[in-house]
A and B are shown apart, each in its own frame.
Chain A
Amino acid sequence: KLPDTRWQAVEAPGEALTPFQDASHYNNFYEFGPDKGDPAANAGRLPTEPWSVWIDGEVGKPGQYALEDLVRPHALEERIYRLRCVEAWSMVIPWLGFPLAELLKRAEPTGNARYVAFETLVDPEHMPGQRSRFALLDWPYREGLRLDEAMHPLTVLAVGMYGRVLPNQNGAPLRLVVPWKYGFKSIKSIVRISLTERQPYTSWQSRAPEEYGFYANVNPAVDHPRWSQKRERRLPGSLFSPNLRDTLPFNGYAQEVAGLYAGMDLTKDY
């Protein structure tokens, strides 16, 4: 597939890429453990082949699809995006993927479809975090987008990064990337995509609604109740340059996406 890939289809001008080693060894993927190094240490054993994804809900063509069949019709594109975690750190990562909109169109959303819900794999045997009795999240991990957000050209499903297949700890074999929202919206290791009429349940919102909203757009003006979102640490940092910088509205993608939220009070719909 790689020969057809459109390299650097979207670039991040003036931004240095985060090294692959850092992007693949500093992860929040609580299914594999609470510490940043846990996913890299524990995710290797997860079988990602064969993999299939349920597509259901308000669609004309529901069903369980093999991953290859989902990906095959699409030309892969490289998208170099900033990733801003809700914990106030950020990276710049070259993803390989295709627009979610293309996949959704092929599933033929019905007129009732207004939201898209996603679910991560549940596999306690290979995901030690799902066996922890002290985890504060419930499984499966769930996320969601409004349909217009999901159809936006910046929203992609990624199957690779840095020109290679996604490492398991980064959400192999299929993950979402929504660059203007906090990282937790970009759900990993997807097994279900449902189109719904009602706003879907999402894991973090139900865990702590006053801390994590459904929209979770990167917004320096709305603090997380426990820490400020005004600035971020661009990784990698070092002792002598913590690499602190100002966080941009919509993570710097305001020009492309601010229109989606016209007329909304983003301090309320955070």
Chain B
Amino acid sequence: MKHPLWRCAVFVAALLPPPVWLYQAWIFALGPDPGKVLLERLGQGSLILLLLTLSLTPLQRATHWSGWGQVRRQFGLWCFAYACLHLLAYLVFVLGLDFAQLGTELQKRPYILVGALAWCSLLPLALTSNRFSMRRLGRRWKQLHRLVYATLGLALLHMLWIVRSDIGQWLLYCTWALLLLALRLPRPGRRLGRRAGGAP
């Protein structure tokens, strides 16, 4: 395996925030509503990790450093891990583990439903993130993993629906996502690849 230090650094950087936040909540450094703060940080963390995951391929194409691609699976799995913790925080701190209420919320609140769909769309991707599944699924693996673009759209919609008064931050993530999609459009992507490929 190449770049062991780099992979290790990514692993530690992604692992650290949740325990640090938990510790902050423990010492009352997150204010009077720590559950809500954890919920929001985990959700935003998950979205950022998703955007980072999708940034790696364009980065590799532009810089020709194989380290980017080496951590793509890791980033994807971290995104899923944060999404799971986000879901858990919602169940504990917002619903108070009232599962009857969960049914009502899913029926009545589109943003909860959209968030749940986003999580569900990540699940098969996480489950097939291994060599065995890649071999088993063959060409269909790539098709399946295109689902990540649906996840991205659902996650952004989920966040937009929660915003109450200022959409600056959401616009930032949205711009990032649109940029990533634009880089994947056949034309500029190919051009970028060709130009990079032609370099000495």
Contact = CB atoms under 8 A, between A and B. Distances in A.
Q: Which are the 9 A-B pairs with shortest beta-carbon distances?
A: A236-B32, A34-B166, A134-B168, A22-B32, A235-B32, A244-B96, A30-B165, A242-B93, A134-B167
A242 B93 CA distance: 6
B26 interface: yes
B6 interface: no
Contacts of B109: 225-227
Given A34-B165, A228-B104, A237 B33 contact: yes
Nearest to B108: A223
Chain B: interface size category: 20 to 34
A6 interface: no
Nearest to B104: A228
Interface size of A as a range: 35 or more
Nearest to A132: B166
B166 A226 contact: no
A135 B166 contact: yes
Chain B contact residues, majority secondary structure: helix
A162 interface: no
A25 interface: yes
Contacts of A237: 32-35, 93
Given A132-B166, A134-B168, A226-B161, 12 more contacts: A26-B32, A36-B33, A89-B33, A134-B171, A135-B165, A136-B167, A225-B109, A227-B105, A228-B101, A236-B28, A236-B31, A239-B38
B166 A235 contact: no
Interface in B99-139: 101, 104-105, 108-109, 111
Interface in A206-259: 223, 225-228, 230-231, 233, 235-239, 242, 244
Contacts of A235: 32-33
A3 B70 CA distance: 71
Contact of B33 (A26, A33, A227): A26
Interface of A: 18-19, 22, 25-26, 30, 33-34, 36-37, 87, 89, 91, 129, 132-137, 223, 225-228, 230-231, 233, 235-239, 242, 244
Contacts of B22: 239
Nearest to A86: B164
28 contacts: A18-B32, A22-B32, A25-B32, A26-B31, A30-B165, A34-B166, A36-B31, A129-B166, A134-B167, A136-B164, A136-B166, A136-B167, A226-B111, A228-B105, A231-B96, A233-B36, A233-B93, A235-B32, A235-B33, A236-B28, A236-B33, A237-B32, A237-B35, A238-B28, A238-B34, A239-B38, A242-B92, A242-B93
B157 interface: no
Contacts of B38: 239
A134 B33 CA distance: 25
